[in-house]
Amino acid sequence: MVNLKTSYLGLELKNPLVVSSGPLTDDVDSVAKLEASGASAVVMRSIFEEQIRSDVSDMYTALEGDTSMAALEYLRADLPGQLGPERYLDKISAMRQRVKIPIIASVNCVTASNWVSYAKKIEHAGADALELNLYHMPVAPSDTSDRVEARRLKLVKDVISEVKLPVSVKLSSHYTSLLSFARMLETAGVSGLVFFNRFLLTDVNTDDESLYFAPNYSTSKVLHSQLRWTAAVRDWVRCSIAVSGGAFTQAVIW
């Protein structure tokens, strides 16, 4: 029997097939099926700071005008920071009890303090590693490439200094010098790099002029860029490199 064992982020894997974040890794039963089908590890769906705050916005609205002291205490406690991550942490715990393969949590935040806070909670919940998804578009005219990279390096260093988990960073290809930034991340202490994340797309519903999230599914066509950059970076860093994107395109029969 062919031996496909490998290592990623210092984790021993039975093969190189790690299921990337998405709907299949967002459900405990689904992750169990992935393990049974031969997956060596899973990356959970990212938890976004913006999403967390959106999830509790309805609660804020419901409490408006409420004179209940209990309601006021909830507001003072900062609901997004305290209640938002709990469902994600519960899911990590449930997966950890259900499967034996490594579970890699994924987090995306904008506020520096929240990165560290979420990372600590994820570690305590039982994740085997943490992927930091640097998914943020710098649209301020004053943001130079040096400032953007320095800000993100600080976030990464802050997390690494507070957790014992191996940490990987999921990057976009939109850096002035991707190779240089990759080397800076390795120097900062990351255990791995993931090429690449894809920005969430929005579109306009012309019937009611509303915005909605448009599907942005990857196909095998995206692999060219990932593989090209993997080859370019491989000889310059010692940390793990993972390629993320569509590896399969279903044939269409007309």
Mean pLDDT of the 246-253 span: 64
H or E stretch including 253?
none
Are the beta carbons of 197 and 172 closer than 8 angstroms? yes
pLDDT (0 to 100) of residue 113? 67
- pLDDT category at 80 given cuts 50, 70, 90 is very low
The domains of the chain are located at: 6-243
The CATH fold of domain 6-243: TIM Barrel (3.20.20)
Mean residue pLDDT of the chain comes to 83
pLDDT value of residue 252: 56
pTM above 0.85, yes or no: no
CA 26 – CA 33 distance, rounded (Å): 12
Average pLDDT estimate for 146-162:
91
Tell me the C-alpha to C-alpha distance, in Å, between residue 81 and each of 31, 54, 126, 170, 205: 27, 12, 20, 23, 32
Query: Are the C-beta atoms of residues 141 and 176 closer than 8 Å to each other?
Result: no
Q: Reduce the DSSP state of residue 207 to 3 states and report it.
A: coil
135 confidence band (pLDDT: 50, 70, 90)? confident
Model pLDDT, residue 79: 43
Instruction: Please list, residue by residue across 140-157, b when 16 or more beta carbons sit within 10 angstroms of its beta carbon and e when fewer do.
Output: eeeeeeeebbeebbebbe
